[in-house]
Amino acid sequence: MVISGLLAGVELGLNRVLRLDSTALPRLAGLAGRVIAVDCQKPSLQLFILPDGEGLRLAAHWAGEVDCRLQAPATSLLRLATSREKTAVLHSPEVELEGDSAVLLELAGILQDLELDWEYELSRWLGPVGSQLLGSHLRSRASWTRETLDSLRLNLADYLSEESRSLVGQREADARFAELDRLKLALDRLDARVERLAQKNKPIA
């Protein structure tokens, strides 16, 4: 009952979020009637996902047939939920898929393509002027934060490679890698030449 209650709360919140994307619900409607079982191995937990045109239904039990079963440890499931490249996680060795994997891949695709219109949801509560003001403020803050983080990353990389010399710089590393590649090619050619000479000088039986 506790898990059912938690799932009901998550389902309510999740479907609200899905409604913020203009294409998610029509795409989910295409998966109506399909059942996906998620078996979490560590900790042992089972969840059933039933997509339809109104969103996702999450169930702790399901007595009917299942179209697709996904078995994975919690860490992989967490990566699947948060990663932008969900298909890469699905192909990792600790993840097992049974049944019609197209259903799961389609659902993963829908969740990966989500573009949530937060501003529309805000405007329902704050009105158009308030949401525009708050939206532009949040956007400028987000842009400033992004630029600051980029700048910090570049400065840190420059400091570590050029000033403290703790790390090799990108260009220097590229030059060394190119030399190694050339050396590897030369060795391959030498190897092939030695092989050819050995064949040529082999006594005819």
Partner 1 sequence: MNDPRKNEGSEPTTHFGFQDVPESQKAQKVAEVFHSVAAKYDLMNDLLSGGMHRLWKRFTIELSGVRTGNRVLDIAGGTGDLTKQFSRLVGPTGEVVLADINASMLRVGRDRLLDRGVAGNVKFVQADAEKLPFPDNHFDCVTIAFGLRNVTHKDDAIRSMLRVLKPGGRLLVLEFSKPSSNLLSKVYDTYSFNFMPLMGKLITNDADSYRYLAESIRMHPDQDTLKAMMVEAGFERVTYHNMTGGIVALHRGIKP
Structure tokens given for 45 = 């937990």
HSE, side-chain direction, 13 A CA sphere, residue 39: 11
CA 31 – CA 25 distance, rounded (Å): 10
Q: Which is nearer to partner 1, 3 or 160 (CB)?
A: 3
> CB of 50: closest distance to partner 1 in angstroms?
8
Is the link from the previous residue into 93 a cis peptide, with omega within 30 of 0?
no
Q: Which is nearer to partner 1, 9 or 128 (CB)?
A: 9
Q: Which is nearer to partner 1, 30 or 130 (CB)?
A: 30
> CB of 55: closest distance to partner 1 in angstroms?
10
Q: Which is nearer to partner 1, 5 or 26 (CB)?
A: 5
> CB of 31: closest distance to partner 1 in angstroms?
11
> CB of 68: closest distance to partner 1 in angstroms?
15
Q: Which is nearer to partner 1, 24 or 89 (CB)?
A: 24
> CB of 108: closest distance to partner 1 in angstroms?
22
- Contact residues toward partner 1 (CB under 8 A) are 1, 4-5, 8, 32-33, 48, 50, 52, 54, 57, 59-65
> CB of 99: closest distance to partner 1 in angstroms?
15
Q: Three-state SS for 66?
A: coil
Q: Which is nearer to partner 1, 51 or 90 (CB)?
A: 51
- Sheet containing strand 55-59, edge to edge, reads 55-59, 45-52, 36-40, 68-72, 96-99
CA 81 – CA 70 distance, rounded (Å): 13
Structure tokens given for 149 = 């983080």
177-204 as b/e: b if 16+ CB within 10 A: eeeeeeeeeeeeeeeeeeeeeeeeeeee
Residue ranges of alpha helices (H) inside 159-169 are: none
